[in-house]
Structures are given as structure tokens and as C-alpha cells.
Amino acid sequence: MAVFEHTYRNYAGPLTPEWSRFLIIPRHAFRDVFKSKLFTAFFALCFIPLLVEAVMIYLHHNVNALGVLQVNIRELIPIDATFFQTFVNLQSGFAFFVTLLVGPPLVSRDLRNNALPLYLCRPFSRTEYVAGKMAVVLLLLSLMTWIPQLLLFLFQSYLEGARWMIDNLWIASAIFIGSVVWILLLALLSQAISALVKWRVVASGVLLGLFFIPSVFGEIVNQLFRTRWGNLISLGALMRTVTAGLFGTFQATTTFVTDFDGQVVRRVLSEPPLWCSWLVLFFVCALCLAILSAKVKAYEVVK
């Protein structure tokens, strides 16, 4: 119907499937996010390490290029679990900064302007709303973490051969699980903070503080007690531990308790066990979900 026919009428056309409606939010959000040239430039910058990774994999298998460069890159940088882990950690850092820019305003902007009743008065649940908002962060971060990393894994497999791929399939699963856990944590934290703090700048500050302030305290605990249990309050350290566990590079360090004569009395585990790190991450995610469940409501009831 043309716009000049100004009468009220019902809609009788086809409807989109219910399951797909949460994806409407990221579709509209991406349009806003990429309006900023600064963000677009930064997002493009995040792919540079991946480009370097691709070049290194390529050089690793290009004998002519290695001859020209006169370096034995095969021995210098072997393509193994540590190689992929390094780049996963690097991309995780970039993912954190992308989250800082994109995550905080997603829910807070709606809360500040009372937009939630507009969403929730439609056939659109609170779960779909949260899923939609999280999808904005998850899709963006997936594009710069596990998706290109897995493509590079396939590239390496293509160059190295099917045998290498079968032998190292666990690396692919480590890339996927490690990245997904990290971006899920970032998405949940940024949405929970966004739901608690209505101002974007403050929300970004809180997210930044949440990663760095506990890290400082954790390090103080580590230094004071000559342990590494302080890592349990540092989200960054937790993720590094979990990633190391997935890539098989986790080492449980121990210290020796000695008496005044220097005799070893007993050996203690200075590093928290791997399951502790997983447990803390699980707890943080559960806490974020609880916050979102409490705050994402059409109207807050004053009791």
C-alpha cells in the first residue's frame, strides 16, 4: 500500500519465523556500530595479527621464500599448539577492546530511554532480547577470533596434509572452545555491566576495571604468599590458564616448604588446579546471567 493512503489497517502478510527474531537486534546494531569510521578502522586493525599468522604459515611451507629470506622459519617458529595458542591469546586481547567499544551501550541505552517495554510488549521474550544483544558481541568477536583461526588451521592442514590435520584436530577444538569461552565471558560481562550501569562511559570504565583491578590484587596476593592462587580473582589470568589447559601447555607449579635449615618439609601446589579456574569462570557467567535476569524487565517494580 502506498504511503498516501492514510488509514489504519491490520497486517495480514507473512510473518518471519519466531526463532530467527533475536537476530533482528544484531542486524540493526551492526548498522549503527559500523557507522563509526574509527571503529571500522580499529576492527580492520584487529585482523592484522591474523594476516601475520597466515603469512607465517605460508612461509613455513614455501621453500623458495625461505631460501630468499635465508632463515629456517620451520625451526624458528614451529606451527604447533603453542603457535596457535599465541595468536588465540593475541586475538583475545583485541576482542576485549572491541567489547569495550561495542558492549556497554547495548542494554544501557535501552534502559536509559525506557525502551525495554517497546521490545517486550511484542512477541519477543526477555531471553530473546538478551540473546539478541549478546549476539551483537558474539558475532563480532567470532569474526575476529575462532572463525579466522579455524580457517588458518584448515590452511595449515591443507599445506601440511591430511595426516597433520588428523593428528592435530584437538588444536582446532582448543581454538574453538578457548575462543568461545572467552567471547562468551566478554559478552556476558559487558551485558551485565550494561544492565547495571546506565551510562556508557561508566559502563566501559567498570568493564575495564573489572579486568585490571582484580589482576593487580591477584598479583599482590601472589607476591605476598609466593603462590599463584591470586590468579583466581584475575579474569585475564583465569582465561590464560584455561586456554593453556586446552592447548596442553598448562603446568601445575609447585613450591617447597622448607624449615630453618633449608630442609624440604613438604611440597605444595602453588598453582590452583585447572578445574578451579573453570569453576570460577562458570560462577562469573552464572552471576552475569542472574544480573541480566534481574535487570532486563519491562518495568522495575518498586516494592
Partner 1 sequence: MATAAAIPTAPAIQDRRNFAPVVDLDGLSVTFGGRPILKELRGELRGRAIGLLGPNGAGKTTLIHTLLGFHSPSSGTAHIFGKDIITDAKQIRALIGYMPERDAFIAKMSAVHLVRLMAELSGLPPEAALERAHEALFYVGLGEARYRGVDTYSLGMKQLAKLAQAIVHGPKLIFLDEPTNGLDPPARARMIRLIREIRDSGQANIVLSSHLLRDVEECCEEILILKDGRIVTYCNLEEERKANRKFLVLETRGDQTKFAEAVSALGCEYALTGDHRVKIVLQEGIEVRDLYRIAADQQMQIRRLSYKRDSLEDIFLKAMENSHGGF
Angle between helix 169-196 and 126-144 (nearest 10)? 130
- Give the span between the Cα atoms of 104 and 195, in whole angstroms: 8
- Considering the rule CB under 8 A, would residue 37 count as an interface residue with partner 1? no
Smallest gap from residue 23 Cβ to partner 1 (A): 10
The answer to whether 266 contacts partner 1 (rule: CB under 8 A) is no
Decide if residue 113 touches partner 1 (CB under 8 A).
Answer: yes
DSSP secondary structure letters along 188-213: HHHHHHHHH--SHHHHHHHHHHHHHH
By CB under 8 A, name the one of 21, 61, 198, 295 that touches partner 1: 21
- Indicate the residue among 114 and 173 with the shorter CB distance to partner 1: 114
Q: How far apart are CA 117 and CA 297, in angstroms?
A: 8
Q: Does 265 bind partner 1 (CB under 8 A)?
A: no
Grid coordinates belonging to 151: 580457517
Cα separation, 11 vs 30, in Å, equals 28
Piece in contact with partner 1 (CB under 8 A), picked from 38-46, 113-121, 145-153, 285-293:
113-121
Question: Interacting stretch for partner 1, rule CB under 8 A, among 20-28, 83-91, 186-194, 238-246?
Answer: 20-28
SS3 category, 17: coil
What does the alpha-carbon distance between residue 103 and residue 29 come to, in Å, rounded to a whole number?
Answer: 11
61 counts as binding partner 1 under rule CB under 8 A: no
User: Counting contacts by CB under 8 A, is residue 123 touching partner 1?
Assistant: yes
Q: Is 262 in the site for partner 1 (CB under 8 A)?
A: no
Site string for partner 1, 93-112 (x = CB under 8 A): ----------------xx-x
Closest alpha carbon to 240 in 80, 100, 140, 96: 96
Which of 44, 122, 170, 213 is in the footprint of partner 1 by CB under 8 A?
Answer: 122
Report how far residue 237's alpha carbon sits from residue 250's, in angstroms, rounded to the nearest whole number.
12
Residues that bind partner 1 (CB under 8 A): 1, 3-16, 18, 21, 24, 28, 32, 109-110, 112-115, 117-125, 297-299, 301-303
